[in-house]
Structure formats: structure tokens, C-alpha cells
Amino acid sequence: MKRYHTSSSKLLFCCVYILFIADAAIAQQVDTSFAAQGTLLHLASATAPFPHPKRAEGHKYRDSLYSASEHYRDSTVAIFVPKGFRRTAATDFVIYFHGWSNCVDTALRYYRLVDQFTESKKNAILVLPEGPRYAPDSFGGKLEDKDGFKRFMSDVVRQLVKAKIVHTKQIGRIILAGHSGGYHVMSYILLRGGMNEHIKEIYLFDAWYGQTEKFSYWLDHFHGKVVDVYTDQGGTKDETETIMEDLDGWRIPYINLQDTLATQKVLRRHRLVFLHTDLIHNDVVHVRNSFCEYLKASSLSNRNEVRKK
């Protein structure tokens, strides 16, 4: 009986999942918390990471079960459009992935993502898809499916056109950024997300725990840029040092510095940047304004340099 019940619940979930995907309607809600800096929208998107069949019965970590209803049903996508954003022929995006035991709203506020993004003055749109909500889990749901990221980005830009924030569905440059467990979904986006020709830079905030072959393939074939900040205690130091050892063996140039020495000149000049920090794991994104500094040195255009269309 237990086996039959489990199979039935999976079948029911799959039916609901299919209906959910088929429904193109998306609810939009404006969050006025950052009105002085721009417009923050919350969407409920059918292409967001969750729900997903692989988490239909939740997720067990150690001795605790994280239920699907509490942790894997939120289809929120937060979209921040800074004041002064200028519409162009193709829209640039920065996609940020939060780590374990977090959610979109707490990440926005605790890590000062809106403040840092605004301060960078980049003419791009910041997007945060909800991951596993307050769960110790790195799984990226639908964004790890084949072409899942492509469907997600197409849906996001469609809604922005509908809201008259942008006037074209053309997607320009994309930067992926993630803290901690956010690395996992980023690696699968590079593996089979369908948008590699648009992804130009990756920021790993104490997040390079593994999946190195996926990042390496992208670096080798698409010649993008990586900034990787790592701590002594966050669990990423060994993997980062192994990567640098491999790069030495392959005679691929990179730079490895203390994060306090990473000037704008250094960040702009080098394609592979490894930054050791004395900060703790949960401080690497915001305490030294790192997200902002990396964006300032990025290939994205500044808002005041773009002609409005």
C-alpha cells in the first residue's frame, strides 16, 4: 500500500506540474521596498525552478525531511530594474542564485543586492529565481533541465516586454552570480541551459564546491570570465586550490590574490580571478561590497553611457 500511495502521489504531481507549465499566466506584484532605487517586481513564473518532479516528495537531508509544500512550491522570480535603466536593442541581465537555508527576499536584503547593483551603475536588470526555500539543498529544479534556463530567460523577457520595461525580446549579455550552494544550478546552466553564447561572466561567492568539469568546459569553449572568492572555513578552499593546480599544469594564466588587493584594474585585466578572503562564509557577498565591485569591472555598459531607445 505504501508503494502504491507513493506512485500515485508522483503521478498526481506530474499532472499538476504539466498543467502548471502549460499555464502561461504570470502574476506580477510590485514591491515598493526599494522604490528610491528602482522597481522591484515579484513574478510567479511557470519556468521558475520549482515546483519540480524531483522534489515532489520533498528532500531529506541528514535526519530531517524538507517537505515539498514548505520548501519546493514557491515559483517566485524577483526582478529589479534600476532607476535610469535605458532600453536597448538587447537587454543585459545579472542572474543571482541564493544558497542554502535562504530565500529570494532575505538574500536581497541581507546581502544588500539592490544597493550594490544600483551602485554599480550598470545598465542591466537583476533577476533572482527562488531556489529551495529555507532548505539545505543545492538543486536548481527546472533550471537544471535541458534548455530550462533558455525557457526561463525567454519567459522573463516576455513579461518585461508586457510590462513595457523593455521593448524587445532580444537578450544580450548575461552574468551568473551565486553564493554558496548556488554553484550547482549555475554549473548545470552551463552544461545544458541553452544560453552559453550569452553568458559572459560568472561570480562564485565562496561557492566552488564541485562540478568543476562543467565550469571548465564553458571556460575552454566560450572564453568567459570567472571571479571566484574563497574562504578558509567555507569548504571551497581545497577545490579552488585544486583548480589552480590544474591551471598551472595546463599553463593557463590566472591571478590569485587576497581580496583586498583586487582593484578595478586587476578585475578588468584578468579573465580568471581567484580571491582569498579572511571574511566568513556569509560575509563574502556584501561586507566589502564585492558584488558591486565585480559588476563595476564587468563587460556590462554603464547606464550613463547608453543612448536611450
* List of domains in the chain: 2-228+280-305 (3.40.50)
- Residue 70: CB atoms within 10 A of its CB come to 13
Percent of the chain with pLDDT over 90: 87
Closest-CA residue to 8 (of 56, 41, 48, 65): 56
Other Cβ atoms closer than 10 A to 236: 25
Query: Residue 92 and residue 198: Cα distance in Å, rounded?
Result: 9
Residue 15's pLDDT is: 42
Using DSSP's 3-state secondary structure scheme, residue 78 falls into strand
pTM of the model as a whole: 0.90
| Separation CA 296–CA 203 (nearest Å) | 13
**Cell of residue 50, nine digits:** 520549482
Cis peptide before 51 (omega within 30 of 0): yes
List 61's β-bridge partners, or say none: 64
Written as tens digits, the pLDDT of the chain (309 aa) is 333 333 444 444 444 343 344 343 345 677 778 999 999 999 999 999 999 999 999 999 999 999 999 999 999 999 999 999 999 999 999 999 999 999 999 999 999 999 999 999 999 999 999 999 999 999 999 999 999 999 999 999 999 999 999 999 999 999 999 999 999 999 999 999 999 999 999 999 999 999 999 999 999 999 899 999 999 999 999 999 999 999 999 999 999 999 999 999 999 999 999 999 999 999 999 999 999 999 999 999 999 887 655
